[in-house]
Chain A
Amino acid sequence: MLSRLNPLTTLAACGAAATFTVAASNWPVSVAVAVAALGAGVGAGVLRRVLAASAVILLPLWFSLLVLHGLFFPEGRTVLAGWGPARITVEGLAFALEMGTRTTGCVLVLLLFSFVVNVPDLVATMTTRRIPPQFGYVLASTLTLAPAITEQLARIRQAQEARGLVLGGSLVQRLAAARLQMVPLVLALIQDAAERAHALDARGFNSPGPHSTYREVADTRGQRTFRRAVLGLAAAAVILRLSASWFGVPVLPSPLAGNE
Protein backbone atom coordinates (compact mmCIF):
# COMPACT_ATOMS: atom_id res chain seq x y z
CA MET A 1 0.00 0.00 0.00
CA LEU A 2 2.79 2.40 1.01
CA SER A 3 4.72 1.92 -2.20
CA ARG A 4 1.68 2.95 -4.27
CA LEU A 5 1.55 6.39 -2.67
CA ASN A 6 3.18 9.39 -4.27
CA PRO A 7 6.85 9.38 -3.15
CA LEU A 8 6.47 12.89 -1.77
CA THR A 9 3.67 11.69 0.51
CA THR A 10 5.86 8.94 1.96
CA LEU A 11 8.76 11.36 2.29
CA ALA A 12 6.60 13.96 4.03
CA ALA A 13 5.13 11.38 6.41
CA CYS A 14 8.48 9.82 7.34
CA GLY A 15 10.30 13.16 7.55
CA ALA A 16 7.55 14.59 9.74
CA ALA A 17 7.61 11.53 11.99
CA ALA A 18 11.40 11.85 12.44
CA THR A 19 11.15 15.60 13.13
CA PHE A 20 8.35 15.00 15.60
CA THR A 21 10.42 12.34 17.39
CA VAL A 22 13.35 14.73 17.79
CA ALA A 23 11.10 17.61 18.85
CA ALA A 24 9.33 15.48 21.45
CA SER A 25 12.54 13.85 22.79
CA ASN A 26 10.51 11.73 25.11
CA TRP A 27 11.21 8.04 25.21
CA PRO A 28 7.59 6.78 25.17
CA VAL A 29 6.99 8.90 22.04
CA SER A 30 10.19 7.56 20.44
CA VAL A 31 9.21 3.97 21.20
CA ALA A 32 5.72 4.58 19.78
CA VAL A 33 7.23 5.97 16.56
CA ALA A 34 9.59 2.99 16.30
CA VAL A 35 6.74 0.52 16.82
CA ALA A 36 4.59 2.36 14.25
CA ALA A 37 7.46 2.23 11.73
CA LEU A 38 7.87 -1.49 12.29
CA GLY A 39 4.11 -1.98 11.89
CA ALA A 40 4.13 -0.05 8.62
CA GLY A 41 7.12 -2.16 7.56
CA VAL A 42 5.07 -5.32 8.13
CA GLY A 43 2.25 -3.82 6.05
CA ALA A 44 4.62 -2.94 3.20
CA GLY A 45 6.42 -6.30 3.37
CA VAL A 46 9.86 -4.75 4.02
CA LEU A 47 10.16 -5.54 7.72
CA ARG A 48 13.05 -7.98 7.33
CA ARG A 49 15.15 -5.56 5.27
CA VAL A 50 14.43 -2.66 7.61
CA LEU A 51 15.42 -4.79 10.62
CA ALA A 52 18.62 -6.05 8.98
CA ALA A 53 19.73 -2.57 7.92
CA SER A 54 18.83 -0.97 11.23
CA ALA A 55 20.55 -3.67 13.31
CA VAL A 56 23.88 -2.84 11.64
CA ILE A 57 23.45 0.82 12.63
CA LEU A 58 21.68 0.60 15.96
CA LEU A 59 23.42 -2.26 17.80
CA PRO A 60 26.85 -0.53 17.92
CA LEU A 61 25.13 2.76 18.81
CA TRP A 62 23.19 1.25 21.73
CA PHE A 63 26.26 -0.60 22.97
CA SER A 64 28.33 2.58 22.84
CA LEU A 65 25.64 4.70 24.53
CA LEU A 66 25.11 2.18 27.34
CA VAL A 67 28.83 1.81 28.05
CA LEU A 68 29.53 5.53 27.77
CA HIS A 69 26.63 6.93 29.79
CA GLY A 70 25.93 3.84 31.86
CA LEU A 71 29.42 3.81 33.35
CA PHE A 72 30.70 7.36 32.98
CA PHE A 73 28.18 10.07 33.75
CA PRO A 74 29.84 12.66 36.02
CA GLU A 75 26.55 14.60 36.31
CA GLY A 76 24.79 11.55 37.79
CA ARG A 77 23.77 11.71 41.48
CA THR A 78 21.92 8.45 42.15
CA VAL A 79 24.72 5.89 42.14
CA LEU A 80 23.67 2.25 41.75
CA ALA A 81 27.16 0.73 41.73
CA GLY A 82 30.67 2.05 41.36
CA TRP A 83 34.21 0.85 40.64
CA GLY A 84 36.67 3.73 40.92
CA PRO A 85 35.91 6.25 38.18
CA ALA A 86 33.21 4.02 36.63
CA ARG A 87 29.82 4.51 38.27
CA ILE A 88 26.45 3.23 37.15
CA THR A 89 23.99 6.06 37.73
CA VAL A 90 20.24 6.27 37.21
CA GLU A 91 20.68 9.59 35.37
CA GLY A 92 23.26 8.09 33.01
CA LEU A 93 21.06 5.12 32.15
CA ALA A 94 18.05 7.40 31.65
CA PHE A 95 20.09 9.63 29.33
CA ALA A 96 21.27 6.62 27.30
CA LEU A 97 17.67 5.36 27.08
CA GLU A 98 16.41 8.77 25.97
CA MET A 99 19.09 9.24 23.29
CA GLY A 100 18.99 5.62 22.12
CA THR A 101 15.22 5.43 21.67
CA ARG A 102 15.17 8.80 19.89
CA THR A 103 17.79 7.69 17.35
CA THR A 104 16.10 4.29 16.99
CA GLY A 105 12.75 5.90 16.16
CA CYS A 106 14.28 8.23 13.57
CA VAL A 107 16.44 5.53 11.96
CA LEU A 108 13.54 3.06 11.63
CA VAL A 109 11.22 5.66 10.12
CA LEU A 110 13.80 6.90 7.61
CA LEU A 111 14.87 3.38 6.64
CA LEU A 112 11.22 2.51 6.11
CA PHE A 113 11.06 5.40 3.63
CA SER A 114 14.15 4.30 1.71
CA PHE A 115 12.94 0.70 1.40
CA VAL A 116 9.38 1.61 0.46
CA VAL A 117 10.03 4.43 -1.99
CA ASN A 118 10.23 3.77 -5.71
CA VAL A 119 13.39 5.64 -6.75
CA PRO A 120 12.45 6.27 -10.42
CA ASP A 121 9.13 7.72 -9.22
CA LEU A 122 10.93 9.90 -6.68
CA VAL A 123 13.33 11.23 -9.34
CA ALA A 124 10.46 11.88 -11.78
CA THR A 125 8.52 13.77 -9.11
CA MET A 126 11.56 15.86 -8.25
CA THR A 127 12.13 16.69 -11.91
CA THR A 128 8.65 18.15 -12.22
CA ARG A 129 9.18 20.24 -9.07
CA ARG A 130 11.80 22.96 -9.02
CA ILE A 131 14.61 20.74 -7.74
CA PRO A 132 17.71 20.84 -10.01
CA PRO A 133 17.59 17.81 -12.37
CA GLN A 134 21.22 17.19 -11.43
CA PHE A 135 20.12 16.10 -7.96
CA GLY A 136 17.80 13.48 -9.38
CA TYR A 137 20.56 12.26 -11.68
CA VAL A 138 23.07 11.91 -8.85
CA LEU A 139 20.54 10.10 -6.65
CA ALA A 140 19.40 7.61 -9.28
CA SER A 141 22.88 7.11 -10.67
CA THR A 142 24.43 6.37 -7.27
CA LEU A 143 21.76 3.84 -6.35
CA THR A 144 22.17 1.97 -9.65
CA LEU A 145 25.96 2.36 -9.75
CA ALA A 146 26.61 0.87 -6.31
CA PRO A 147 25.91 -2.79 -7.22
CA ALA A 148 27.64 -2.38 -10.61
CA ILE A 149 30.82 -1.10 -8.96
CA THR A 150 30.81 -3.87 -6.37
CA GLU A 151 30.67 -6.34 -9.25
CA GLN A 152 33.45 -4.52 -11.11
CA LEU A 153 35.61 -4.61 -7.98
CA ALA A 154 35.11 -8.36 -7.71
CA ARG A 155 36.15 -8.78 -11.37
CA ILE A 156 39.28 -6.64 -10.84
CA ARG A 157 40.22 -8.69 -7.79
CA GLN A 158 39.78 -11.94 -9.73
CA ALA A 159 41.87 -10.63 -12.61
CA GLN A 160 44.64 -9.46 -10.27
CA GLU A 161 44.53 -12.74 -8.36
CA ALA A 162 44.89 -14.59 -11.66
CA ARG A 163 48.06 -12.51 -12.17
CA GLY A 164 49.41 -13.54 -8.78
CA LEU A 165 47.92 -11.02 -6.34
CA VAL A 166 47.85 -12.41 -2.81
CA LEU A 167 45.35 -10.92 -0.36
CA GLY A 168 46.62 -10.98 3.20
CA GLY A 169 50.15 -11.19 4.55
CA SER A 170 51.96 -8.30 6.19
CA LEU A 171 50.58 -4.77 6.39
CA VAL A 172 52.77 -3.58 3.53
CA GLN A 173 51.62 -6.48 1.35
CA ARG A 174 47.99 -5.79 2.17
CA LEU A 175 48.39 -2.09 1.33
CA ALA A 176 50.08 -3.02 -1.96
CA ALA A 177 47.18 -5.37 -2.71
CA ALA A 178 44.70 -2.59 -1.95
CA ARG A 179 46.55 -0.28 -4.35
CA LEU A 180 46.49 -2.93 -7.10
CA GLN A 181 42.70 -3.06 -6.80
CA MET A 182 41.99 0.64 -6.27
CA VAL A 183 43.93 2.13 -9.17
CA PRO A 184 42.28 0.07 -11.95
CA LEU A 185 38.87 0.63 -10.33
CA VAL A 186 39.24 4.42 -10.08
CA LEU A 187 40.72 4.69 -13.57
CA ALA A 188 37.89 2.65 -15.12
CA LEU A 189 35.27 4.69 -13.25
CA ILE A 190 36.70 8.04 -14.37
CA GLN A 191 36.90 6.77 -17.94
CA ASP A 192 33.26 5.58 -17.84
CA ALA A 193 32.16 8.88 -16.31
CA ALA A 194 33.73 10.83 -19.19
CA GLU A 195 31.79 8.74 -21.71
CA ARG A 196 28.57 9.22 -19.76
CA ALA A 197 29.16 12.99 -19.75
CA HIS A 198 29.32 13.04 -23.56
CA ALA A 199 26.11 11.00 -23.79
CA LEU A 200 24.28 13.30 -21.36
CA ASP A 201 25.52 16.48 -23.05
CA ALA A 202 24.39 15.15 -26.43
CA ARG A 203 20.88 14.81 -24.96
CA GLY A 204 20.80 18.36 -23.66
CA PHE A 205 21.00 17.38 -20.00
CA ASN A 206 22.67 20.59 -18.89
CA SER A 207 20.45 22.90 -20.94
CA PRO A 208 18.62 25.55 -18.91
CA GLY A 209 14.88 25.68 -18.53
CA PRO A 210 12.32 23.17 -17.28
CA HIS A 211 12.89 19.48 -17.88
CA SER A 212 10.02 17.12 -18.61
CA THR A 213 9.74 13.45 -17.77
CA TYR A 214 8.13 10.45 -19.43
CA ARG A 215 7.11 9.03 -16.11
CA GLU A 216 3.73 10.11 -14.76
CA VAL A 217 3.44 9.80 -11.01
CA ALA A 218 -0.08 9.77 -9.66
CA ASP A 219 -0.96 12.37 -7.05
CA THR A 220 -4.33 13.00 -5.48
CA ARG A 221 -5.91 15.89 -3.69
CA GLY A 222 -6.18 13.78 -0.55
CA GLN A 223 -2.43 13.13 -0.56
CA ARG A 224 -1.68 16.83 -1.06
CA THR A 225 -3.86 17.71 1.94
CA PHE A 226 -2.25 14.94 3.98
CA ARG A 227 1.26 16.22 3.15
CA ARG A 228 0.36 19.75 4.17
CA ALA A 229 -1.18 18.47 7.40
CA VAL A 230 1.78 16.32 8.52
CA LEU A 231 4.34 18.98 7.61
CA GLY A 232 2.30 21.57 9.49
CA LEU A 233 2.14 19.24 12.48
CA ALA A 234 5.91 18.70 12.44
CA ALA A 235 6.52 22.45 12.15
CA ALA A 236 4.16 23.06 15.06
CA ALA A 237 6.04 20.50 17.17
CA VAL A 238 9.35 22.22 16.38
CA ILE A 239 7.99 25.70 17.18
CA LEU A 240 6.41 24.45 20.39
CA ARG A 241 9.68 22.86 21.51
CA LEU A 242 11.82 25.88 20.64
CA SER A 243 9.49 28.33 22.34
CA ALA A 244 9.28 26.02 25.35
CA SER A 245 13.05 25.96 25.70
CA TRP A 246 13.44 29.72 25.19
CA PHE A 247 10.56 30.84 27.38
CA GLY A 248 10.84 28.04 29.89
CA VAL A 249 7.42 26.45 29.36
CA PRO A 250 7.53 22.68 29.90
CA VAL A 251 5.89 20.78 27.03
CA LEU A 252 6.38 17.08 27.60
CA PRO A 253 8.13 16.56 30.93
CA SER A 254 11.08 14.29 30.32
CA PRO A 255 11.71 11.56 32.89
CA LEU A 256 15.12 13.21 33.37
CA ALA A 257 13.68 16.54 34.38
CA GLY A 258 12.31 15.18 37.62
CA ASN A 259 15.72 13.99 38.77
CA GLU A 260 17.46 17.34 38.58
Chain B
Amino acid sequence: MSQQSLTLPAPGAAADKKRRLLELLGAASIAATFIFLVLAQPSDITNGVGSASTLLALGGFLLGAILLILGVLPTLPTSTLVLIPVALVLNIALGQIMGTTGLPFYFDAIGTVLIAVLAGPAAGAATGALSSIIWSFFNPTVLPFAAGAALIGFLAGMAARYGLFRRFYLAPVAGFATGIIAGVVSAPIAAFVFGGTSGAGTGAIVSAFRAMGDTLLAAITKQALISDPMDKAIVFAIAALLVYALPRRATFRFPFVRRFNVLAGKAPVAAS
Protein backbone atom coordinates (compact mmCIF):
# COMPACT_ATOMS: atom_id res chain seq x y z
CA MET B 1 0.00 0.00 0.00
CA SER B 2 2.62 2.51 1.02
CA GLN B 3 4.89 1.41 -1.84
CA GLN B 4 2.08 1.96 -4.26
CA SER B 5 1.40 5.46 -2.99
CA LEU B 6 5.09 6.31 -3.47
CA THR B 7 4.77 5.62 -7.17
CA LEU B 8 1.65 7.75 -7.61
CA PRO B 9 2.29 10.60 -10.03
CA ALA B 10 2.71 13.97 -8.38
CA PRO B 11 -0.11 16.43 -9.16
CA GLY B 12 0.76 17.82 -12.56
CA ALA B 13 1.54 21.30 -13.69
CA ALA B 14 -2.01 21.61 -15.04
CA ALA B 15 -3.50 21.20 -11.56
CA ASP B 16 -1.05 23.78 -10.19
CA LYS B 17 -2.00 26.21 -12.92
CA LYS B 18 -5.69 25.68 -12.13
CA ARG B 19 -5.12 26.40 -8.46
CA ARG B 20 -3.08 29.51 -9.23
CA LEU B 21 -5.96 30.63 -11.46
CA LEU B 22 -8.45 30.07 -8.62
CA GLU B 23 -6.29 32.18 -6.27
CA LEU B 24 -6.01 34.97 -8.82
CA LEU B 25 -9.74 34.86 -9.57
CA GLY B 26 -10.51 34.99 -5.85
CA ALA B 27 -8.28 38.00 -5.29
CA ALA B 28 -9.67 39.66 -8.43
CA SER B 29 -13.24 39.06 -7.29
CA ILE B 30 -12.56 40.68 -3.91
CA ALA B 31 -10.73 43.63 -5.48
CA ALA B 32 -13.36 44.18 -8.19
CA THR B 33 -16.21 44.05 -5.67
CA PHE B 34 -14.49 46.58 -3.45
CA ILE B 35 -13.68 48.96 -6.31
CA PHE B 36 -17.22 48.68 -7.65
CA LEU B 37 -18.76 49.36 -4.24
CA VAL B 38 -16.60 52.34 -3.42
CA LEU B 39 -15.98 54.03 -6.76
CA ALA B 40 -18.78 53.12 -9.15
CA GLN B 41 -21.75 52.99 -6.83
CA PRO B 42 -21.55 55.48 -4.03
CA SER B 43 -25.32 56.05 -4.18
CA ASP B 44 -25.82 55.92 -0.47
CA ILE B 45 -27.90 53.10 0.94
CA THR B 46 -29.69 55.37 3.36
CA ASN B 47 -31.79 56.56 0.39
CA GLY B 48 -33.49 53.17 0.51
CA VAL B 49 -32.05 49.83 1.53
CA GLY B 50 -29.53 49.19 -1.26
CA SER B 51 -30.38 45.58 -1.73
CA ALA B 52 -28.49 45.29 -5.03
CA SER B 53 -25.32 46.71 -3.43
CA THR B 54 -25.74 44.30 -0.53
CA LEU B 55 -26.09 41.33 -2.86
CA LEU B 56 -23.04 42.41 -4.86
CA ALA B 57 -20.97 43.00 -1.71
CA LEU B 58 -21.95 39.65 -0.23
CA GLY B 59 -21.64 37.72 -3.47
CA GLY B 60 -18.34 39.20 -4.63
CA PHE B 61 -16.57 38.99 -1.28
CA LEU B 62 -17.86 35.50 -0.46
CA LEU B 63 -17.07 34.16 -3.92
CA GLY B 64 -13.57 35.60 -3.65
CA ALA B 65 -13.01 34.04 -0.23
CA ILE B 66 -14.28 30.63 -1.40
CA LEU B 67 -12.12 30.70 -4.55
CA LEU B 68 -9.09 31.58 -2.41
CA ILE B 69 -9.82 28.67 -0.08
CA LEU B 70 -10.29 26.23 -2.98
CA GLY B 71 -7.06 27.45 -4.58
CA VAL B 72 -4.86 27.54 -1.48
CA LEU B 73 -6.13 24.68 0.68
CA PRO B 74 -5.01 21.71 -1.48
CA THR B 75 -1.49 23.17 -1.82
CA LEU B 76 -0.84 23.43 1.92
CA PRO B 77 1.38 20.75 3.49
CA THR B 78 -0.32 18.66 6.18
CA SER B 79 1.84 20.24 8.90
CA THR B 80 0.32 23.64 8.04
CA LEU B 81 -3.18 22.30 7.46
CA VAL B 82 -3.47 20.82 10.96
CA LEU B 83 -2.57 24.23 12.37
CA ILE B 84 -5.59 25.92 10.78
CA PRO B 85 -8.19 24.46 13.19
CA VAL B 86 -5.84 25.40 16.01
CA ALA B 87 -5.70 28.97 14.71
CA LEU B 88 -9.47 29.14 14.42
CA VAL B 89 -9.96 28.03 17.99
CA LEU B 90 -7.16 30.37 19.13
CA ASN B 91 -8.98 33.27 17.49
CA ILE B 92 -11.82 32.42 19.85
CA ALA B 93 -9.98 31.26 22.98
CA LEU B 94 -7.30 33.98 23.06
CA GLY B 95 -10.04 36.52 22.46
CA GLN B 96 -11.69 35.17 25.61
CA ILE B 97 -8.47 35.40 27.68
CA MET B 98 -7.91 38.96 26.47
CA GLY B 99 -11.52 39.62 27.41
CA THR B 100 -10.66 38.85 31.05
CA THR B 101 -8.06 41.63 30.99
CA GLY B 102 -10.92 44.08 30.54
CA LEU B 103 -9.34 45.91 27.60
CA PRO B 104 -11.81 47.45 25.13
CA PHE B 105 -10.56 45.54 22.07
CA TYR B 106 -11.76 42.53 20.17
CA PHE B 107 -8.65 40.55 19.11
CA ASP B 108 -10.37 38.03 16.89
CA ALA B 109 -7.41 37.56 14.53
CA ILE B 110 -4.55 36.45 16.79
CA GLY B 111 -4.60 32.85 15.53
CA THR B 112 -4.78 33.98 11.90
CA VAL B 113 -1.75 36.26 12.32
CA LEU B 114 0.13 33.52 14.18
CA ILE B 115 -0.37 31.06 11.31
CA ALA B 116 0.55 33.72 8.75
CA VAL B 117 3.84 34.39 10.57
CA LEU B 118 4.68 30.69 10.84
CA ALA B 119 3.39 29.42 7.48
CA GLY B 120 3.24 32.36 5.08
CA PRO B 121 0.75 34.64 3.29
CA ALA B 122 -1.19 31.91 1.42
CA ALA B 123 -1.80 29.93 4.60
CA GLY B 124 -2.68 33.16 6.39
CA ALA B 125 -5.25 34.14 3.77
CA ALA B 126 -6.84 30.67 3.77
CA THR B 127 -6.93 30.66 7.58
CA GLY B 128 -8.58 34.06 7.70
CA ALA B 129 -11.27 33.14 5.18
CA LEU B 130 -11.90 29.70 6.73
CA SER B 131 -12.02 31.25 10.17
CA SER B 132 -14.91 33.48 9.15
CA ILE B 133 -16.77 30.68 7.37
CA ILE B 134 -16.49 28.22 10.26
CA TRP B 135 -17.06 30.86 12.95
CA SER B 136 -20.30 31.68 11.13
CA PHE B 137 -21.63 28.33 12.37
CA PHE B 138 -21.95 30.06 15.74
CA ASN B 139 -22.29 33.64 14.58
CA PRO B 140 -23.54 34.08 10.99
CA THR B 141 -22.82 37.83 11.04
CA VAL B 142 -19.06 37.24 10.63
CA LEU B 143 -19.56 35.40 7.32
CA PRO B 144 -19.60 38.54 5.12
CA PHE B 145 -16.24 39.64 6.58
CA ALA B 146 -14.43 36.56 5.19
CA ALA B 147 -12.61 38.59 2.52
CA GLY B 148 -11.36 41.13 5.07
CA ALA B 149 -10.11 38.32 7.32
CA ALA B 150 -8.31 36.72 4.35
CA LEU B 151 -6.67 40.06 3.61
CA ILE B 152 -5.44 40.38 7.20
CA GLY B 153 -3.88 36.89 7.04
CA PHE B 154 -2.27 37.63 3.68
CA LEU B 155 -0.82 40.97 4.79
CA ALA B 156 0.48 39.48 8.05
CA GLY B 157 2.24 36.77 6.03
CA MET B 158 3.76 39.36 3.70
CA ALA B 159 4.95 41.38 6.71
CA ALA B 160 6.61 38.25 8.11
CA ARG B 161 8.17 37.41 4.73
CA TYR B 162 9.82 40.84 4.49
CA GLY B 163 11.25 40.69 7.97
CA LEU B 164 8.83 42.88 9.93
CA PHE B 165 8.58 40.22 12.66
CA ARG B 166 12.37 40.11 13.22
CA ARG B 167 12.24 43.13 15.53
CA PHE B 168 9.49 43.46 18.08
CA TYR B 169 8.89 47.16 17.46
CA LEU B 170 8.22 46.62 13.74
CA ALA B 171 5.32 44.19 14.27
CA PRO B 172 2.82 46.78 15.59
CA VAL B 173 3.77 49.10 12.72
CA ALA B 174 2.91 46.35 10.23
CA GLY B 175 -0.29 45.71 12.19
CA PHE B 176 -1.24 49.38 12.05
CA ALA B 177 -0.82 49.47 8.25
CA THR B 178 -2.76 46.20 7.90
CA GLY B 179 -5.54 47.63 10.05
CA ILE B 180 -5.90 50.66 7.77
CA ILE B 181 -6.29 48.48 4.67
CA ALA B 182 -8.51 45.89 6.37
CA GLY B 183 -10.70 48.58 7.90
CA VAL B 184 -11.27 50.31 4.56
CA VAL B 185 -12.13 46.98 2.88
CA SER B 186 -14.49 45.84 5.65
CA ALA B 187 -16.34 49.15 6.02
CA PRO B 188 -18.58 48.69 2.92
CA ILE B 189 -19.67 45.31 4.35
CA ALA B 190 -20.66 46.85 7.66
CA ALA B 191 -22.49 49.63 5.82
CA PHE B 192 -24.21 47.73 3.01
CA VAL B 193 -24.96 44.44 4.78
CA PHE B 194 -25.66 45.46 8.36
CA GLY B 195 -26.31 49.20 8.13
CA GLY B 196 -23.99 49.83 11.07
CA THR B 197 -21.72 48.17 13.58
CA SER B 198 -22.81 46.05 16.52
CA GLY B 199 -20.32 47.18 19.18
CA ALA B 200 -21.32 49.90 21.65
CA GLY B 201 -18.01 51.77 21.37
CA THR B 202 -17.77 51.59 17.59
CA GLY B 203 -21.46 52.49 17.31
CA ALA B 204 -20.86 55.67 19.32
CA ILE B 205 -18.05 56.73 16.96
CA VAL B 206 -20.23 56.10 13.90
CA SER B 207 -23.05 58.11 15.53
CA ALA B 208 -20.68 61.02 16.11
CA PHE B 209 -19.69 61.13 12.44
CA ARG B 210 -23.32 60.75 11.35
CA ALA B 211 -24.27 63.67 13.63
CA MET B 212 -21.77 65.76 11.66
CA GLY B 213 -23.69 64.89 8.49
CA ASP B 214 -21.48 62.19 6.94
CA THR B 215 -22.98 59.52 4.72
CA LEU B 216 -23.25 56.10 6.39
CA LEU B 217 -20.39 54.60 4.34
CA ALA B 218 -18.13 57.57 5.10
CA ALA B 219 -18.98 57.45 8.82
CA ILE B 220 -18.30 53.72 9.08
CA THR B 221 -15.07 54.03 7.09
CA LYS B 222 -13.85 56.79 9.41
CA GLN B 223 -14.81 54.69 12.44
CA ALA B 224 -12.91 51.71 10.95
CA LEU B 225 -9.88 53.94 10.42
CA ILE B 226 -9.99 54.83 14.12
CA SER B 227 -10.57 51.35 15.60
CA ASP B 228 -8.98 48.85 13.23
CA PRO B 229 -5.34 50.06 13.02
CA MET B 230 -5.12 50.17 16.83
CA ASP B 231 -6.71 46.73 17.21
CA LYS B 232 -4.48 45.14 14.56
CA ALA B 233 -1.32 46.80 15.93
CA ILE B 234 -2.03 45.15 19.29
CA VAL B 235 -2.94 41.81 17.66
CA PHE B 236 0.33 41.80 15.67
CA ALA B 237 2.28 42.66 18.83
CA ILE B 238 0.62 39.80 20.75
CA ALA B 239 1.29 37.37 17.89
CA ALA B 240 4.94 38.50 17.82
CA LEU B 241 5.27 38.00 21.59
CA LEU B 242 3.72 34.53 21.30
CA VAL B 243 6.05 33.53 18.47
CA TYR B 244 9.08 34.80 20.39
CA ALA B 245 7.98 32.87 23.47
CA LEU B 246 7.80 29.60 21.54
CA PRO B 247 10.94 27.48 21.60
CA ARG B 248 13.07 27.47 18.45
CA ARG B 249 12.44 23.78 17.91
CA ALA B 250 8.74 24.56 17.44
CA THR B 251 9.10 27.59 15.16
CA PHE B 252 11.97 26.30 13.00
CA ARG B 253 9.87 23.29 12.05
CA PHE B 254 8.10 25.55 9.52
CA PRO B 255 9.80 25.84 6.11
CA PHE B 256 8.48 29.41 5.72
CA VAL B 257 10.22 30.50 8.94
CA ARG B 258 13.50 28.89 7.88
CA ARG B 259 13.43 30.05 4.27
CA PHE B 260 12.72 33.73 4.84
CA ASN B 261 14.45 33.97 8.22
CA VAL B 262 11.17 35.30 9.62
CA LEU B 263 12.39 35.43 13.22
CA ALA B 264 15.94 36.75 13.36
CA GLY B 265 18.23 34.16 14.85
CA LYS B 266 19.86 30.88 14.05
CA ALA B 267 18.23 27.49 13.74
CA PRO B 268 18.54 25.28 16.82
CA VAL B 269 21.54 22.98 16.72
CA ALA B 270 19.48 19.78 16.69
CA ALA B 271 17.45 20.83 13.63
CA SER B 272 20.33 22.18 11.54
Residues of A41-70 at the interface with B, using a CB-CB cut-off of 8 Å, are 53, 56-57, 60-61, 63-65, 67-69
Collect the chain B residues with CB atoms within 8 Å of residue A57's CB: 139-141, 198
Complex interface bits, B194-206 against A, C-beta within 8 A gives 1, otherwise 0 = 1111111001001
A86–B204 alpha-carbon span in the complex (Å):
12
Q: Is the CB of B52 within 8 A of A186?
A: no
Tell whether, in the assembled complex, residue A193 and residue B55 are in contact, meaning their CB atoms are under 8 Å apart. Answer: no
User: Chain A's nearest CB lies how many Å from the CB of B138?
Assistant: 7
A69 vs B246: C-alpha distance in the bound complex, in angstroms?
47
Question: Which residues, 115 to 163 on A, are CB-close (under 8 Å) to B?
Answer: 132, 134-135, 137-139, 141-143, 145-146, 149-150, 153
Chain A residues, Cβ within 8 Å of B101: 171, 174-175, 178
Residues of A within 8 A of B50 (CB): 245
Task: Flag whether A225 is at the interface (Cβ < 8 A).
Answer: no
Inter-chain contact A260/B246, CB cutoff 8 Å? no
- Give the distance to chain A from B145, nearest Cβ to Cβ, in Å: 13
B contact residues vs A (CB 8 Å cutoff): 5, 8, 10-11, 15, 44, 46-52, 54-56, 58-59, 69-70, 73-74, 76-79, 81-86, 88-90, 92-94, 97-98, 100-103, 114, 130, 134, 136-141, 143, 193-200, 203, 206-207, 210-214, 241-242, 245-247, 250, 253
CA distance A130 to B77 in the complex (A): 19
A224 CB–B CB distance under 8 Å: no
**What residues of A have a CB within 8 angstroms of the CB of B77 in the complex?**
206
Q: How many residues of A contact B (CB 8 A)?
A: 88
Cβ A96 vs Cβ B100 within 8 A:
no
When distances are taken between beta carbons in the complex, the residues of chain B under 8 Å from A260 are: 47-48
Query: Quick check: A183 and B245 within 8 Å, CB to CB?
Result: yes
Q: How far is the CB of B44 from chain A (nearest CB, A)?
A: 8
Nearest 9 A/B pairs, CB to CB: A99-B195, A245-B52, A25-B51, A110-B140, A141-B85, A72-B210, A64-B203, A85-B211, A114-B137
Q: Is the CB of A60 within 8 A of B88?
A: no
B254 (CB) vs chain A CBs: closest residue: A190
Contact at B49–A64, with CB atoms within 8 Å?
A: no
**Of the candidates B15, B52, B213, which one forms a contact with A74 in the assembled complex, judged by CB atoms under 8 Å apart?**
B213
> In the complex, what residues of B have CB within 8 A of residue A191's CB?
250
Task: Contact check, A186 vs B246: say whether CB atoms are below 8 A apart.
Answer: yes
How many A-B residue pairs lie within 8 Å, measured between CB atoms?
213
The answer to the question of A164 belonging to the interface, with a C-beta cut-off of 8 Å to chain B, is no
Q: Give the docked Cα–Cα distance between A244 and B90 (Å).
A: 44
> Which partner residue on chain B sits nearest A71 by CB separation?
B207
Q: Is the CB of B134 within 8 A of A139?
A: yes
B194 touches A99 (CB 8 A): yes
A99–B73 CB distance below 8 A: no
**Contact indicator B141/A107 (Cβ below 8 Å):** yes
Assess the B51–A22 pair: CB atoms within 8 A: yes
Nearest A residue to B51, CB-CB:
A25
- Give the residue name and chain of the A residue nearest to B76 (CB): A134
Report which residue of B44, B82, B102, B138 has the largest number of chain A beta carbons within 10 angstroms of its beta carbon. Answer: B82
A23-B207 in contact given A74-B213, A186-B246, A187-B247 (Cβ < 8 Å): no
- Name 6 A/B residue pairs within 8 A (Cβ), A-sorted: A22-B55, A61-B194, A61-B196, A103-B141, A145-B85, A208-B8
New A-B pairs, 15, CB < 8 Å, besides A114-B137, A182-B97, A200-B78: A57-B139, A60-B200, A64-B200, A138-B73, A138-B134, A141-B85, A142-B134, A143-B137, A146-B89, A174-B102, A187-B246, A200-B81, A201-B78, A246-B52, A260-B48
